[in-house]
Amino acid sequence: MAPLSLCAREPHVPADRLVAEMVPPPRFDAVRFGTYIPDPNQPSQTEAVRVLEGFAAGLDGKPGGESGRRRLFGFGKAQKKEPSGPRGVYLDGGYGVGKTHLLASLWHATPAEPALKAFGTFVELTNLVGALGFQQTVKTLSGHRLLCIDEFELDDPGDTVLVSTLLGKLVEAGVALAATSNTLPGKLGEGRFAAADFLREIQGLSAHFRALRIDGEDYRHRGLPEAPPPYSDEVVTRVAHATEGASLDAFPDLLDHLARVHPSRYGALTDGIGAVCLTGVRPVPDQSTALRLVVLADRLYDREVPVLASGLPFDQLFSEEMLKGGYRKKYFRAISRLTALARDAKRLAGTV
């Protein structure tokens, strides 16, 4: 069978799809508080589950407005609900300790219909503002009971101000908030904890958040084997032809294509893809390209798409300068996630 090609795809995503897709990604469809396994050596993990279960139970699911479609087009007004206690929780911890698992569990546990809950990354939220405009985004989300924001971008000052202003409007409308974040540049200890930075950056909203610190190691490396070495071009090509729904692209060509597709469309770019096969993996040439690759890695990881590659191993994608710079946490997250997907792809290589 002939493989697909990511480079041949130029998806166009309408604004209403951006709203409808603000749910936990497929990787987190089945997660719940009960499936989160706290590290017995990290009591903060058990405490976080306890607090979040109570927070979810306090959101009684009463709708704040009309249906999602009516809110999208500005019909109906949000019904304000008087807040009791903090209206937001902030999950503070390093990458790989299960923050997204807990954030998605909170979304699932909140007693409200899916149309009244929203879940997305910071980038997806800014894309929504770009697609709908600020005022329409406020109208669209004001009827929600809960907004979950994963990977709040503390290293992007302009977008931070934009989203903080948006969140202020949503708090006024009675929307509960939950967030995780990345880290500001230049912090000690690789910026594993960012609560002070987060609360400072959201300025007037800080009083609405309770920070939950989650200690622990990156679970993706906890007792797991090292990432498999890259395969030959021949093996990658054979796997692509033998695997239903697989794509096959030269890595440099894919990087060029990502520059022509807006990151808000990377999810649609991977629709229906069962495996990604790449030949000639090499270091990314610049930071702009590297940040686009980070977004693609996130979308592939969310969808549990295995990645089989030739060339250099994924821990050599980013230069030493990048790994020491302000976006280093994003790059380490991408390496961690691509490594996990490369492990998943080992089963594919064993079939040819």
- List the chain pLDDT tens, one digit each, 352 residues: 799 999 999 998 887 787 888 999 888 999 999 999 999 999 999 999 999 999 999 987 554 444 343 343 343 444 444 445 578 999 988 767 889 999 999 999 999 999 999 999 888 898 889 888 999 999 999 999 999 999 887 777 788 888 989 999 999 999 999 998 865 544 534 445 667 777 777 777 788 888 888 988 766 555 444 667 999 999 999 999 999 999 999 999 999 999 999 888 898 999 999 999 999 999 999 999 999 999 999 899 989 999 999 999 999 999 999 998 878 878 888 998 899 999 999 999 877 6
Sign of CA dihedral 292, 295, 299, 300: positive
pLDDT score of 63:
44
String of b and e for 70-99 (b: at least 16 CB within 10 Å)?
Answer: ebbeeebebeebeeeebbbbbbbbbbbbbb
pLDDT score of 276:
98
Predicted TM-score (pTM) of the model is 0.76
Helix (H) or strand (E) holding 240: helix 233-242
Question: Could you give the CA distance from residue 31 to residue 33 in angstroms, rounded to a whole number?
Answer: 7
Q: Is 115 exposed, middle or buried (CB count within 10 Å of its CB: 0-12, 13-18, 19+)?
A: middle
pLDDT score of 264:
80
